[in-house]
């Protein structure tokens, strides 16, 4: 059983902080994408994934709902036809932007069995949305949340904090409002300014100030606010009511295999992590050449790599790292000396044979992982 990730590389406008494989493209290009994605899936589903069975589907981007309803339908029909969207999925998630969640698109998604929506809200402050160059309107977000909750599907909201000029109370108010509307899952992360983005350039020119001094406060208080509503952290930046955890995303942290289709999409198959070309044009010609393996970035996961992943991905989850299973897999356990200092500082604990990050420790996870790795 593997996961299936389908990447739709389009957005109405590229946000200032975005460093995903996305572009704002005309309909013509979107249709070409639908064709090429179908071709890639056909080739790689049988060749790389050996027609294993699919457990979860995640339609992400970019913004899948940027496609016209008919194109979206065509894309999903094509995938279903070759077996990539089988009946009886454990989960079928779609990322969408409030702006283009129209009735026809919603209907198409519902017909295809989508049962989880991940809505890119980011913030409910119009000023902050503008500051990060995001084309959005908070009222439309509110309406979209309401509409989705009404369908009875599981709904998650993506939020951001540590935005230029954002205050902690603003962020908490966003969380408060969304949870009161019946959202059962949220993920939030601090803005990270990447050099190759518009925002990155603005920051390095000094046009925008993006201090991260309040980062820990945002995070700490955000977690507390959600948990007080019964929405618990199950991963560094993912929170849900018990039983509503994202199954597909969780499979990444559990180091399960998955097939990724689309520009820049990553796969983990046969013990090898592989990535397709990221730029649309390079991806397109790669697909036209028959998706040669040599055209992908390949990262074979041997024991050394697997060990790093097991520690890092394990600790990201609240459930933590199963020490016994770890010792079995790598025939050498973790040395308790390595986490002693963090245990004394109440940043990790051992519970039921699992090494877990606790409380304040989540603010220092990179340092903890680093120390365990060395």
Binding site for ligand SF4 (CB under 6 A): 11, 14-15, 18, 20, 22, 61-63, 97, 120
**Least distance from C-beta 134 to other proteins, angstroms?**
16
Applying CB under 8 A, which of residues 29, 313, 323, 350 lies at the interface with other proteins? 313
Six-digit token string for 189: 């992360």
Which of the ranges 86-94, 137-145, 213-221, 319-327 carries the binding residues for other proteins, by CB under 8 A? 213-221
Residue 117 within binding range of other proteins, rule CB under 8 A: no
**Least distance from C-beta 20 to other proteins, angstroms?**
8
User: Cα separation of 241 and 226, whole Å?
Assistant: 10
Output 143 or 298, the one with its CB closest to other proteins: 298
Output 187 or 225, the one with its CB closest to ligand SF4: 187
Task: Look at residue 119 and give its three-state secondary structure.
Answer: strand
Output 80 or 255, the one with its CB closest to other proteins: 255
| Number of residue whose CB is nearest ligand SF4 | 18
**Least distance from C-beta 264 to other proteins, angstroms?**
8
User: Cα separation of 7 and 227, whole Å?
Assistant: 31
Do residues 46 and 57 make contact, with C-beta atoms less than 8 angstroms apart? no
Task: Look at residue 219 and give its three-state secondary structure.
Answer: helix
Q: Which does 369 bind (CB under 5 to 8 A by kind): ligand SF4, other proteins, none?
A: other proteins
Count interface residues toward other proteins (CB under 8 A): 42
Residue 364 within binding range of other proteins, rule CB under 8 A: yes
In sequence order, what E strands does the chain have?
2-8, 54-61, 91-96, 116-122, 154-161, 185-190, 232-235, 238-240, 258-261, 266-269, 272-275, 297-300, 321-322, 348-351, 354-357
Residue 269 within binding range of other proteins, rule CB under 8 A: no
Do residues 332 and 311 make contact, with C-beta atoms less than 8 angstroms apart? no
Q: Which does 18 bind (CB under 5 to 8 A by kind): ligand SF4, other proteins, none?
A: ligand SF4
Q: Which does 366 bind (CB under 5 to 8 A by kind): other proteins, ligand SF4, none?
A: other proteins
Do residues 105 and 72 make contact, with C-beta atoms less than 8 angstroms apart? yes
User: What is the Cα Rg of the chain in Å?
Assistant: 21
Output 20 or 215, the one with its CB closest to ligand SF4: 20
Six-digit token string for 109: 């998604």
Residue 318 within binding range of other proteins, rule CB under 8 A: no
**Least distance from C-beta 121 to ligand SF4, angstroms?**
11
User: Cα separation of 360 and 257, whole Å?
Assistant: 31
The pairing of beta strand 91-96 with beta strand 116-122: parallel
**How many C-beta atoms surround the C-beta of residue 318 within 10 A?**
17
Q: Is 176 exposed, middle or buried (0-12, 13-18, 19+ CB in 10 A)?
A: middle
**Least distance from C-beta 230 to other proteins, angstroms?**
22
**Least distance from C-beta 360 to ligand SF4, angstroms?**
29
Task: Look at residue 159 and give its three-state secondary structure.
Answer: strand
Output 109 or 119, the one with its CB closest to ligand SF4: 119
Six-digit token string for 148: 């989705």
Residue 216 within binding range of other proteins, rule CB under 8 A: yes
Where do contacts with other proteins occur on this chain (CB under 8 A)?
Answer: 5, 7, 20, 60, 188-190, 192, 212-213, 215-216, 219, 236-237, 252, 258, 260, 265-268, 273, 275, 297, 299, 305, 308-309, 312-313, 316, 362-367, 369-370, 373-374
């Amino acid at each position: 059983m593997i996961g299936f990730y389908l990447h739709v590389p389009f957005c109405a406008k590229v946000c200032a902080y975005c460093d995903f494989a996305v572009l704002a493209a005309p309909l013509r290009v979107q249709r070409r994408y639908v064709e090429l994605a179908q071709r890639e899936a056909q080739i790689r589903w049988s060749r790389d994934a050996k027609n294993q069975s699919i457990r979860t589907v995640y339609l992400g981007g970019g913004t899948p709902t940027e496609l016209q309803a008919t194109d979206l339908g065509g894309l999903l029909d094509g995938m279903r036809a070759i077996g990539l969207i089988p009946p009886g999925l454990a989960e079928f998630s779609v990322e969408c932007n409030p702006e283009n969640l129209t009735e026809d698109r919603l209907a198409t998604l519902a017909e295809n069995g989508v049962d989880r929506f991940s809505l890119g809200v980011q913030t409910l402050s119009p000023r902050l949305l503008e500051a990060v160059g995001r084309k959005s309107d908070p009222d439309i977000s509110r309406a979209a949340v309401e509409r989705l909750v009404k369908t009875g599907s599981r709904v998650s909201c993506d939020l951001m904090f540590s935005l230029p000029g954002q205050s902690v109370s603003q962020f908490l108010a966003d969380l408060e409002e969304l949870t009161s509307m019946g959202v059962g899952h949220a993920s939030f992360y601090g803005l990270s300014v990447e050099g190759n983005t518009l925002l990155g350039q603005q920051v390095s020119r000094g046009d925008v100030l993006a201090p991260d001094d309040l980062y820990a406060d945002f995070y700490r208080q955000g977690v507390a606010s959600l948990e007080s509503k019964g929405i618990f952290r199950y991963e560094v930046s993912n929170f849900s009511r018990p039983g509503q955890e994202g199954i597909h995303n969780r499979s990444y942290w559990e180091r399960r295999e998955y097939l990724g289709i689309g520009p820049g999409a990553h796969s983990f198959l046969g013990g090898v992590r592989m990535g397709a070309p990221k730029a649309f044009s390079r991806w397109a010609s790669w697909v036209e050449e028959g998706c040669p393996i040599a055209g992908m970035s390949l990262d074979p996961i041997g024991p050394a790599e697997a060990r790093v992943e097991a520690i890092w991905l394990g600790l990201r989850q609240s459930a933590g790292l199963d020490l016994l299973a770890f010792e079995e897999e790598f025939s050498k356990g973790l040395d308790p000396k390595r986490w002693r200092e963090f245990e004394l500082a109440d940043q990790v604990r051992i519970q039921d044979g699992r090494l877990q990050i606790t409380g304040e420790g989540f603010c220092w996870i990179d340092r903890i992982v680093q120390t365990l790795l060395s």
